[in-house]
Amino acid sequence: MKYSQLFKEENEHIQERYSLAMDRIALIEKERTVKEPFYDYFRKETSYLLLIKQIVSLVEKDRIKKLSLEELQALNKELYGDFEGDNYETNYANPAYACGTLGNKYGKLISFLTTELRSLIVYAYEDRLYDLTIYLELFIEVYNYFEREDDFTYKDVKRAIYQFMSDYKGHLVERRTREMLDTELSFAKDIIMEADLSDIRYLYRFGEYISDNEIKTAQYINSLPEEKVQAMADTFTEGYRMGFISNNLDISKKSIVNIRYRLGFEKMVRYAINNFKKLGLEPVIYRAGYNALNKRQHLKLGYHSTSPNRQYDFDHRFDQGLFYDKAFQVGHVKALKDSFEKYKKEGSVYAGPALIQVFGEEIFVPEDKKEAIRLDKRQKRLSLDYTNQSGMLTMEYLKSDETSFTIIAYPIPEIGDKYEEIFTETVRVNTLDNSLYQRIQQEIIDALDQGEYVHIVGSGNNHTDIKVMLYPLNDRTKETAFENCVADVNIPVGEVFTSPVLKGTSGVLHVPQVYLNELEYRELELTFEDGIITDYNCKNFKEESKNKSFIKDNLLYNHDYLPIGEFAIGTNTTAYMMGKKFDIGPKLPILIAEKTGPHFAIGDTCYNHSEETKTFNPDGKEIVAKDNEISLLRKTDVSKAYFNCHTDITLPYDEIKDISVVHEDKTRVQIIKDGRFVLPGTEELNKAFE
């Protein structure tokens, strides 16, 4: 069935409610029944909602694609201009402005409502009248309270929002699950495969904010020879295929692949879709989260564009705090289970995600606003419990131990004047000689497998000093503790990694500047005892309490502690020197940055949910270091075994004084000294430094 027909019957059933809601909103625009300071908010919001009505009409008449570039740009500006730059300072979505204008209580409610109503842009462009109508009715209900002046309370308005989220959570969760697994939901795929990609107007059909990044990326990729774009897609999809082979998984059992990417890469994605189809995989391409229930903090999981304002995303990362309680959480888990059960057949043939990441945005240091909605201690526990339960449901229904993934990254124009040079160099980094790195990395693994632990010491301003305990091998002729990672699931090539033993893994990990999960950390310091983070700090803010809160919210994901899940030595000195040459080191994505020095992942191991799958290095040795003392708890209580997060933190080569493997007799073999590889057989890696 064509996408345009999918919601036809549903739209017909809801049409009367939609029309009545829009008629009421048209009247609200002309009324003065709400007093200041609230009148200004409702006036602005009704103007926005009537703009949504115009978009619905354009979509229903298939007129979006017929608008001129100037008309499309003007429409995009109307939708998103209030969020750009300084405009956000006087936007009711800004919790500081809303609270300053309307008072703390009502300000938080209005800021939340303003943000939730932005999802109507998605529903309008995707012609989903039901989803659109229920939000319009919520807005009208809230407006009615404010019309009644003294005949309502803050609790009435908050209860209306709570009841709405509670009543419709099943619908919202089911829709999100369907977006993940139903290949007939082809809104984005249809644009990618059918639009004239040489006509930049196609970008505006997605309904996302369109900036110079999206336009210039699309124009640049359009300018490349067809064979070069095909080669980029081939690298991407071949890495995905090889991931199944290297993990001894049968890709022929699967038929659905999820493609996630940044707008502007449609030409490459079109080639990738064709490649995946040759592998028997049909893509689902769903949008990044757009309401409080399907967002994951400020992160973008799904296709998306440049954010009109990253502070806006950060301000609303915990909007669930307005309504999340025990009853809601129980219903949330049930809704997810019910939705997975509904799409159980599709889930069983889901192969996993294929991601095209980007890098080059300006470093973002957020303002931690006191007015933003937060999770209280009880809500944090409930949220973590939901994350654990949703992780187990995902493992059960999507058969996580049978799925794989791949990730590749490219720069965007925001990276600067040398964008095209950096793009070309990135393509080179993404296609380095696997066989060369495989051979060199085997030398490193052979040395590491002889050791009891690895000692890592920083140099200069980096005061890292940490000991990482290694998994003991029973038979070094047949077993290894480290994976020889070339360019399959993680492109580009270049690391050896293991799951450390927690007991005895202790010390300090310090990085003067690092960019993790789209946020900058200054002077990040983590203290480990027996593999567990026991203390943490940074210097982003003047107040130590804010620094600790920032780390716990965004790096520990509200866990009281996290273990070290991975230790690795990156070998891609070419990628490292690309960062130095173009002065873009801090902007490199973790996908590339983790290959440019030793790195430590906090959270789950690399093998979470697939520990029992036998995997082997190219030399035939089985990789046996897949568990740690916490992940082993899955055998007695799976709810205690996983944290559902994994964040890599890299030390660049020029901040390393020494990396040595220490044997049981305390003899030491150096692998890196003063930022250079010194282990015999690894000298080739130093050529990039020259």
Please check the confidence at residue 187 and state whether its pLDDT lies above 90.
yes
Task: Name every residue whose Cβ is closer than 8 Å to that of residue 254 and which is 6 or more positions away in sequence.
Answer: 280, 281, 349, 350, 351, 402, 403
**Residue among 322, 301, 320, 305 nearest 361 (CA):** 305
Q: Is the pLDDT of residue 195 over 80?
A: yes
Residues near 265 by beta carbon (within 8 Å), at least 6 away in sequence: 217, 218, 221, 356, 410
User: Would strands 646-650 and 479-480 be described as parallel, antiparallel, or unpaired?
Assistant: unpaired
Calculate what percentage of the chain has a pLDDT beyond 70.
Answer: 99
End position of a domain, from candidates 179, 207, 241? 179
CA 391 to chain centre: 16
Kindly state the average pLDDT of the residues 354-372: 93
Q: Within a domain: residue 520?
A: yes
Dmax (CA) of the chain = 84
Q: What confidence category does residue 527 fall into, taking pLDDT thresholds of 50, 70 and 90?
A: very high
pLDDT-based confidence at 1, cuts 50/70/90?
low
The answer to whether 282 and 376 have CB atoms below 8 angstroms apart is no
Average pLDDT over residues 340-345: 97
The CA distance from 443 to 682, in Å, is 7
**Pairing mode of beta strands 453-458, 656-662:** antiparallel
pLDDT on residue 120: 97
- Model confidence band, residue 8 (pLDDT cutoffs 50, 70, 90): confident
**How does pLDDT run across 281-320, given as a tens digit for each residue?**
999 999 999 999 998 888 889 999 999 999 999 999 999 9
Locate 444 and state its tokens: 């490193």
Percent helix, strand and coil across the chain, each rounded to 5?
A: 50, 20, 30
pLDDT, mean over the chain: 94
Q: Which residues contact 192 (CB under 8 A, 6 or more apart)?
A: 266, 269, 270, 273, 285
Residue finishing a domain among 134, 161, 179: 179
Could you tell me the pLDDT band of residue 363, with boundaries at 50, 70 and 90? confident
Average pLDDT for 161-180: 96
pLDDT at 611: 85
Evaluate if residue 487 carries a pLDDT over 90.
no
Does 124 reside within a domain? yes
Q: What percent of the chain has pLDDT over 90?
A: 83
pLDDT confidence bin for 342, thresholds 50/70/90: very high
Q: How many domains does the chain have?
A: 2
Rounded-to-integer distance, Cα 647 and Cα 600, Å: 8
CA 107/CA 101 separation, integer angstroms: 7
Predicted confidence band of residue 485 (pLDDT cuts 50, 70, 90): confident
Q: Is residue 225 part of a domain?
A: no
Q: Which domain holds residue 616?
A: 461-689
How high is the pLDDT of residue 558? Answer: 87
User: Average pLDDT, stretch 464-489?
Assistant: 92
Per-residue model confidence as pLDDT tens digits over 75-112: 999 999 999 999 999 999 999 999 999 999 999 999 99
pLDDT digits (tens, 9 = 90+) for 386-415: 998 998 899 899 998 899 999 999 999 999
Q: How many Cα atoms are found within 13 Å in the side-chain-facing hemisphere of 325?
A: 8
CB 502 within 8 A of CB 563: yes
The residue out of 179, 202, 221 marking a domain boundary is: 179
Q: Per-residue pLDDT for 517 more than 90?
A: no
pLDDT of residue 226 exceeding 80: yes
CA–CA distance, 649 with 111 (Å, rounded to integer)? 34
Residue 199 inside a domain? The answer is: no
Q: Do 78 and 51 meet the contact criterion of CB atoms below 8 Å apart?
A: yes
Task: Kindly write down the DSSP assignment for every residue of 453-505, as one continuous string.
Answer: EEEEEE-TT---EEEEEPPPPS-TTTEESSEEE-SSSBSS--EEEE--EEEEE
Residue 606 falls inside a structural domain: yes
Q: At residue 110, what are phi and psi to the nearest 5 degrees?
A: -70, -40
Tens of pLDDT, residues 411-454: 999 999 999 999 999 999 999 888 999 999 999 999 999 999 99
Q: What is the pTM of this model?
A: 0.91
Has residue 665 been placed in a domain?
Answer: yes
- The pLDDT value recorded for residue 413 is 97
The answer to whether position 521 is within a domain reads yes
Between CA 569 and CA 500 the distance in angstroms is 13
Confidence of residue 465 (pLDDT cuts 50, 70, 90): very high
The pLDDT score that the predictor gives to residue 439 is 95
Q: Is the pLDDT of residue 647 over 80?
A: yes
The DSSP result for 165-200, as a single string, is: HHHHHHHHHHHHHHHHH-TT--HHHHHHHHS-TTSG
Q: Residue 16: pLDDT band by 50, 70, 90 thresholds? A: very high
- Please answer whether residues 304 and 214 qualify as being in contact, where contact means their C-beta atoms are separated by less than 8 angstroms: no
- For residue 603, is it within any domain? yes
One-letter-per-residue 3-state SS of 243-287: HHHHCCCCHHHCCEEEEECECCCHHHHHHHHHHHHHCCCEEECCE
